[in-house]
Structure 1
Amino acid sequence: MKLTTKANWGLKLFAWRYIPLIGFCSPRIERMDEDSLEVSIPHTWRTKNHLGSVYFGALAIGADLAGAFLVFHKAKARGVNANFAFKDVQGEFLMRPEARVHFVSNDGALIDQMLDESIVSGQRINRTVSVVVTCPTLHGDTPMATFRLTLSVKAKPR
């Protein structure tokens, strides 16, 4: 089974079990490797605002997923229990996304470091991850928004 197919099933199950609002936005993992994750959210009646662009809440959900789903994936692959949350978020909205939006985080190496440090120290580790939002069908790689989220991770071996 392809990695993204398996990850998308995991995302659907996680959303259904723990955070149904994520599932309501119909996110899809487009690309995932050790260093990066790309998630997309469609431009539909569920995710649009009154101006016809992707709603702020849907953008926040996409940034959340792009910034944290690698923690979930990497911890599972290592056989580690990892609790994670966001301590704060900063967003800059540059253009109105009026089609499917893509959220990209290239912080896989940082997440590996956080998991390693937390396992060794037994402490919660806080670092800032970055997410860039694009709308490829309308604007290519031009950023629509950027997010900086402080990710807080505490990991321990099972």
Structure 2
Amino acid sequence: MKITVSKLNSFLFFKLPSAFICGVRVKLIDESKCIVSVKHRWINQNPFNSMYFAVQAMAAELSTGALVMKHIENSGKKISMLVANNKSNFSKKATGRISFVCADGNLAAKSIQEAVETGEGRTFWMKAIGTNEKGEQVSEMEFEWSVKAKPNN
């Protein structure tokens, strides 16, 4: 699958329907950056009149994972990927449209290249920053990705 905004959003519909139903959508992806947004609505609310933390995590994780997928595609190799760990900080109520930006595409590219060259697994952390429509940071999430080249058959 060629990694584009529309293909990623179709992927959400078919493979991650809970994220799609909650309104998570990819807005931009290139070699270095991915932007994913989600709007606070009834379907993704918490009891405190803001966005449920897990919905924020879905959007943040997608902003990092889509970059990993893009660089796996660029490598032309079969590579497995898995979230090994995550960390989150919430600094403000998430209301309105929240955009998660991950600008760590270079980390994914470097780690995937090393995994292909060495045949060994690599782990690396990628960060996604969530901001509201006013540009105020509402959350910061980090995901530790593990990648490993699959042996040639």
RMSD over equivalenced CA pairs, Å: 2.0
* Deviation, structure 1 residue 28: 1.9
What residue number does 1:78 align with?
Answer: 75
Q: Do structure 1's residue 14 and structure 2's residue 11 form an aligned pair? A: yes
CA contact (8 A) 2:75 2:113 kept: no
Percent of pairs identical after alignment?
Answer: 25
- Give deviations 1:38-66, integer Å, cap 9, x for gaps: 11012222211122211111011011101
Per-residue CA deviation, residues 120-152 of structure 1 (Å, 9 max, x unaligned), is 1112110111111101x2x31x21111121111
Q: Contact 1:37/1:105 (CA < 8 Å) preserved in 2?
A: yes
1:47-126 residue pairs with structure 2 within 5 A? 47-126=44-123
Q: Distance in 2 between matches of 1:39 and 1:132?
A: 10
| Equivalent position of 2:141 in the other structure | 147
Query: What is the TM-score of this pair, normalised by structure 1?
Result: 0.86
CA distance in 2 between partners of 1:67 and 1:22 (Å):
15
| Residue identity opposite 1:152 in structure 2 | S
Deviation at 1:13, TM superposition (A): 3.2
Distance in 2 (alpha carbons) for counterparts of 1:23 and 1:87: 23
Residue 39 of structure 2: aligned partner? 42
Gaps of 5+ in 2: none
Give the deviation of 1:14 after TM superposition. 2.3
CA distance in 1, matches of 2:151, 2:38: 33
What runs of 5+ residues in structure 1 fail to find an aligned partner? none
Deviation at 1:109, TM superposition (A): 0.6
CA distance in 2, matches of 1:150, 1:72: 14
Q: Match of 1:38, as an amino acid?
A: I
Distance 2:82 2:12 in 1: 15
1:157 is displaced (CA, Å) by 8.3
Structure 1 distance, partners of 2:22, 2:118, is 37
Query: Is contact 1:118-1:156 (8 Å) kept?
Result: no
Q: Give the aligned residue type for 1:113.
A: K
